[in-house]
Each structure stands twice: as C-alpha cells, then as structure tokens.
C-alpha cells in the first residue's frame, strides 16, 4: 500500500470537517441576514460559504485524480535541457559610449560633473579647523 493511500482516510476526514464548517458558517450568515440587524453583506457571505464547501470537495477530488495519474518520466540528472528560442524576452542593449543620443541628458550629465568638481575643490580648499566648527 502506498504512503498516499494510508493518508487518504485523514484527508477524507479533513475534507468533511472543512466542508461542514463552511456550511455551518453559511447557515450562521443566513440566520444573521434574516435577523433584524442583518444586511445584504450577510446574504453575500451566506451564499459564499457553501461555494467554499464545494471547493473543498472539488480540491480533494482533483488531488485524488492527480495522485492516481501516471507520473511523467523525469529527465535524467545529467541531461542538459535548453530553453526554447523566443520563450524569454530579449534583454535591452546598452549604447556603448554613445552620449550623443540625447542632448538634454548630455547637458544634465555635464552639469552634474561641474557640481562634483565644485564639491571636490571646496573640500580640498577647506582646512581641518573649518570642518570641525561647533555652534555656540
């Protein structure tokens, strides 16, 4: 007996508990909808919970079908698999050394270079005493 068949009883009990809990919550929301303080939100939940119970049963049946289906033969560990051409998007290529593409970008980069040069000259011209000033 396979290990999955041994766990089937526990799965059936789990599905029964989950589906029963979903149906009980649906009944509770329906009773809330029928009360004086009920709203259409409670009606929506009352209709939603039975769908969750149905999904529990559906998921269990799908699991059993996948479990009983024959497994596909896995490729050997030493074989190399290739990615088919056109599957992945192409990487964008960078323009190597071409700054003439955008004159605005070229102007902005030269402005940044001037600021960096000005900061560098300011740092070298200041003395150690100027940098350690305190307020008082």
Considering only residues 131 and 18, tell me which one the structure prediction assigns the higher pLDDT: 18
57: pLDDT confidence band, cut at 50, 70 and 90? very high
Q: Is the pLDDT of residue 64 over 80?
A: yes
Say whether 62 sits in a helix, a strand or coil.
helix
126: pLDDT confidence band, cut at 50, 70 and 90? low
Mean local confidence (pLDDT), 67-71? 80
Q: Is the pLDDT of residue 100 over 80?
A: no
pLDDT of residue 121: 83
* Crossing angle of the two packed helices 40-68 and 8-34, in degrees rounded to 10: 170
69: pLDDT confidence band, cut at 50, 70 and 90? confident
Say whether 32 sits in a helix, a strand or coil.
helix
Q: What is the mean pLDDT of the chain?
A: 83
Instruction: Tell me phi and psi for residue 22, to 5 degrees.
Output: -65, -40
CA separation for the pair 48, 22 (Å, rounded): 9
Q: How far is CA 106 from CA 34, 92, 95, 97, 112, in A?
A: 71, 21, 14, 12, 10
pLDDT of residue 78: 74
Q: Is the pLDDT of residue 128 over 70?
A: no
Q: 30-59: b or e for each residue (b if 16 or more CB lie within 10 Å)?
A: bebbeeeeeeeebeebbeebbeebeebeee
129: pLDDT confidence band, cut at 50, 70 and 90? low
């Amino acid at each position: 007996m396979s290990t999955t068949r041994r766990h089937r009883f526990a799965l059936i009990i789990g599905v029964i508990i989950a589906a029963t809990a979903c149906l009980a919550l649906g009944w509770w929301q329906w009773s809330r909808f029928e009360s004086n303080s009920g709203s259409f939100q409670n009606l929506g939940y009352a209709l939603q919970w039975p769908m969750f119970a149905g999904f529990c049963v559906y998921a269990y049946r799908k699991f059993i079908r996948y479990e009983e289906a024959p497994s596909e033969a896995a490729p050997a560990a030493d074989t190399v698999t290739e990615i088919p051409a056109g599957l992945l998007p192409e990487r964008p290529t960078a323009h190597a050394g071409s700054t003439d593409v955008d004159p605005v970008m070229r102007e902005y980069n030269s402005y940044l270079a001037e600021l960096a040069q000005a900061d560098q000259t300011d740092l070298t011209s200041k003395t150690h005493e100027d940098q350690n000033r305190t307020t008082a």
